[in-house]
Amino acid sequence: MTDPTSADQELLARRARSFGARAHAYAEHRPDYPLPALRWGLPGGAGEVLDLAAGTGKLTEGLVALGLRVTAVEPDPAMRAEFTRHHPAVPVLDGTAEHIPLGDGAVDSVLAGQAFHWFELDKALTEIARVTRPGGTVVALWNHDDVSVPWAAELGALTSTGVTRKFLWQRADLPSHPDFEPFERGPFPHTQRRTAQTLVDTIATHSHLLTAPAGEREAALARLRTFLANTPETAHGEFDLPIVTTVLRAVRK
């Protein structure tokens, strides 16, 4: 993999820090994760799991629905507060992927939703390996537009800005680490029920828009509103937004 420049690193850091101020909107508008994707990532007999960089708890919703005992780790205090509002029975700890406040071999699986691309991967995978039992898994999940649907592909192109970048799930070269078996990739179809306004509100929480210059951000959202108003699939009331959830999974040696 190509080493990032200092400018790339600063952009990445700004985007990673951009969500806290919009924690409530993030919780309200971001999609959940399909249960088949979670089941694929988990090892057999999993009981204790970690939602790493848990945000407001979108991933935790599915993990709790599967009957798992969840601990969450999230560095942003505003996101932790929103997490607790939605999941008061789930402990959420202050920490990062590089410094996880759990003991050795504490969990059967470590999962991260929409977050793995923010981690310092070598350090994070070493730390994830430390807290994961042998035979457990590390699981990274991303929800993204289903570009096999023409209008959804056009939608994604319209909302890109000068700070849009490729994420880890889009790369041909998957990460590797000596404590894990090779990563596998799995796509899972998903949908989210939306209206034109709630879709605009969702896309407004994406980091590339949160950190774009104000004029560029507003221009992108204006293009989006015009597109949604003039696209038959989205112009009238509620519609299903086609999503793919891409999952990367590796087994702890």
| pLDDT tens per residue across span 22-32 | 556 556 777 89
**213-216: long-range pairs with CB below 8 Å, 24+:** 213/162, 216/161, 216/162
Model pTM score: 0.83
Amino acid identity of 2? T
- Domains in the chain: ranges and CATH: 6-146+165-193+241-251 (3.40.50.150)
Are the C-beta atoms of residues 135 and 105 closer than 8 Å to each other? Answer: no
Residue 21 pLDDT level (bands cut at 50, 70, 90): very low
Q: pLDDT at position 8, please?
A: 43
Across 202-211, average pLDDT: 75
pLDDT at 208 over 80: no
| d(C-alpha 43, C-alpha 252), whole Å | 10
pLDDT tens-digit map of 210-245: 777 888 888 888 999 999 999 999 999 999 999 999
Q: Give the model's pLDDT for residue 15.
A: 41
pLDDT above 70 for 138: yes
Residue 166: per-residue pLDDT: 58
CA distances to 4, 10, 22 from 7, rounded to whole Å, are 8, 5, 24
**Which pLDDT value is given to residue 161?**
53
Residues contacting residue 157 through CB under 8 Å, at least 6 positions apart: none
Q: What is the mean pLDDT of residues 15-38?
A: 68
